[in-house]
Structure 1
Amino acid sequence: MNLTSLVPADPALAVFFQGLLLSLGLIVAIGAQNAFVLRQGLRREHVGPVVLFCALADALLITAGVLGMAQALGENRQLARALALAGALFLAWYGWRALQRARRPSQLQAASGGDGLSARAALAQAAAFTLLNPHVYLDTVLLVGSVGAQQPAALRPVFIAGAGLASLLWFTLLGFGARRLAPLFARPRAWQWLDALIGLTMLGLALALLRHVQNGP
């Protein structure tokens, strides 16, 4: 599946959609952070601040990753190619895992009961679920950062914008659409289809990154 054929030929739009698809593929998963945002949405409790915090945290981590990796790579083309190859292999592994998950039923559950949280407590929990998760640094900072750093300097902000928009869209959908989405997310079949789509997307991005490694800068 060649995902590059699904995006516009304009380089800026292609880079924007690459960041968007990559970020969506990594963020849409069954996990504590998504379950917490869904819970707050079900309770209609501090949804806006929680959604905004999660989206801004992702955007800052993505920006730090892209700019930091770009600075670290500098003119070291061998290191850039090595990181691109490692990223492609990780994306291929991630895609394969998603396709394997699609074969096994799973669901996202978020209890709507319990005591209410103050705004400060809700944001503290959102920060914990976001920043104390080691995968966020592997996925958002290292992987997304290394892929974004492969882009021309002028297009890196476009990549960051696409990746950041993915987080904003997802958390907004999850938080403010919780009442309608909760029954869907409780269905294993929905997550099987979603994991299948994520798997194909990640494999397509891995192929695109491998072509980048093969063609060189």
Structure 2
Amino acid sequence: MSVFFTGMATGLGLIVAIGAQNAFVLRQGLRGQHVTAVALTCALSDALLIGAGVAGAGALTARLPWLDPVMRAAGAAFLIWYGARSLRSALRSDAALEVAGQGPDAPLGAVLATCLAITWLNPHVWLDTVVLLGAISTQYPGAEAWFAAGAISGSFLFFLTLAHGAAWLRPVFARPRAWRRLEFAIALVMWAIAASLVWPWVAAIAPSPRP
């Protein structure tokens, strides 16, 4: 059980940091739209990736060097688009009022498609789950499955708590100004993550300063 709780603590330590997934789950929780479905989609995706990492898929990126740049490009493009959409929502008062329950729910299929894209096109998710957790699990020979179970349990615990706990903040974000600020913050988070994905390429092609 000590390995189980170590896996849970390690998984939570990687997941809790602010990122694209968490921002999207928080947004849906505040809206009260498909909350459980979104939380379970994120947690189940993490479970698949963690299982793959512990099973040894972390070595795949080392064997296929082209996989990392492809994932980075696809993830950055999607996050730039999603950030622009959040910024557009932040600048429109009508969209801000939807948090009060006045707007119709987005279709479940569209919401889950966005959630899956944010999860599976984000190299940071792959790094945390497949690579890092997969590598850490090797420190517990014979108990890797317990480590994976702990990390997966932590993912379910976090996403369900974040999604449903957001309802407590709903009165605060019922004010259009607060909602617009959240949308603007989400846009900045998305663009910051996208920038971090492409920065190695920018740094590589940038001219060196003259001595």
The two structures have a TM-score, normalised by structure 1, of 0.56
- Distance (whole Å) between structure 2 residues aligned to residue 38 and residue 147 of structure 1: 28
Deviation at 1:116, TM superposition (A): 3.2
- Superposed displacement of residue 45, structure 1: 0.9
Q: Residue 171 of structure 1 is aligned with which of 131, 155, 159?
A: 159
Q: Please state how far the C-alpha of 1:32 moved relative to its aligned partner.
A: 1.8
> 3-state DSSP class of the match of 1:60?
helix
Q: Deviations over 1:101-143 (max 9, x none)?
A: xxxxxxxx9x664763111011001101111111111111000
Range with greater deviation from structure 2 (111-120 or 27-36): 111-120
Distance (Å, rounded) in 2 between the aligned partners of 1:145 and 1:181:
35
1:100 aligned partner: none
User: Quick one: percent identity of the two aligned structures?
Assistant: 55
Give 2:109's aligned residue.
Answer: 120
Partner Cα distance (2:32, 2:124) in 1: 28
Bigger radius of gyration, 1 or 2? 2
Aligned residue number for residue 77 of structure 1: none
Give the one of 28, 39, 63 matched to 1:51: 39
Residue 24 (structure 1) aligns with? 12
**Residue 35 in structure 1 maps to residue 23 in structure 2:** yes
The one-letter amino acid paired with 1:123 is L
Give the count of matched residue pairs.
133
Aligned equivalent of 2:54, options 66, 71, 75: 66
CA-based RMSD? 2.3
Instruction: Determine the structure 2 residue equivalent to 1:150.
Output: 139
By how many angstroms is 1:35 displaced?
1.2
Amino acid at match of 1:117: A
Q: Match of 1:174, as an amino acid? A: L
Runs of 5+ unmatched residues, structure 2: 60-89, 91-95, 173-177, 179-211
**Structure 1 stretches of 4+ moved >2 Å:** 111-116
